Chain A
Amino acid sequence: DAGVIQSPRHEVTEMGQEVTLRCKPISGHNSLFWYRQTMMRGLELLIYFNNNVPIDDSGMPEDRFSAKMPNASFSTLKIQPSEPRDSAVYFCASSPGQTGYEQYFGPGTRLTVT
């Protein structure tokens, strides 16, 4: 049974470039979450979707960040333009939704912006 799939696993880009992170949630899960992990701030929720609809994006740091979920099996997190301070590990997680709070995390994307 496949877990949450994220791509790419590693991304190195130059400042000013556009970055797109991808996530495939577990089939049948209704909720999808994007997190960012840094040493200073720990694991921060950026945005989450319920049934493909964005519910809370208050954690998105700036307008440079955007997220979409065009269907139940795919979501993207885009940073444009990227800056060095965006360097972090970005996790996607999915949850069955109303049946519980357990979230299942993907392996993460390590983003380095030089």
Chain B
Amino acid sequence: DQQVKQNSPSLSVQEGRISILNCDYTNSMFDYFLWYKKYPAEGPTFLISISSIKDKNEDGRFTVFLNKSAKHLSLHIVPSQPGDSAVYFCAAGWGSQGNLIFGKGTKLSVKP
């Protein structure tokens, strides 16, 4: 009964190429989506977010796409850098309280 799913536990990409991380959700009440990045022995850090009224949000090398009809979002990193190697979590929220539901994460490895 996972409401936020990241089906790929890991992804390996060559430096300079595009990294695409995917996330699916089941709850149509979600109205806000976020991506977090986590390095070992550190807490997750906020990366980028998107509201349900948008289908794209861009911040430098990071772009998040939202497809509401498919209940799918993706994070694109272009170009990928070795420092991007981390675990990426997708998260979703709704309402006014601010609690989030997290996916289980995708470990990205960017090889030089």
CA A108 to CA B74, docked complex, whole Å? 27
CB of B11, distance to nearest CB on chain A (Å): 17
Asked if B43 and A101 sit within 8 Å, CB to CB, the answer is: no
Residue B69 interfacial (CB < 8 Å): no
Asked if B32 and A101 sit within 8 Å, CB to CB, the answer is: yes
Q: How many residues on the A side are at the interface (Cβ–Cβ under 8 A)?
A: 26
Q: How many residues on the B side are at the interface (Cβ–Cβ under 8 A)?
A: 22
Asked if A95 and B98 sit within 8 Å, CB to CB, the answer is: yes
Residues of chain B from 18 to 68 with CB closer than 8 A to chain A in the complex: 32, 34, 36, 41-46, 49
Question: B residues engaging A (CB < 8 A)?
Answer: 32, 34, 36, 41-46, 49, 89, 93, 96-105
Asked if B103 and A42 sit within 8 Å, CB to CB, the answer is: yes
Asked if B97 and A50 sit within 8 Å, CB to CB, the answer is: yes
Asked if A43 and B98 sit within 8 Å, CB to CB, the answer is: no
Chain A CB within 10 Å, residue with most, of B32, B34, B99: B99
Asked if A101 and B89 sit within 8 Å, CB to CB, the answer is: no
Which residues on B sit within 8 Å (CB–CB) of A48? Answer: 97-99
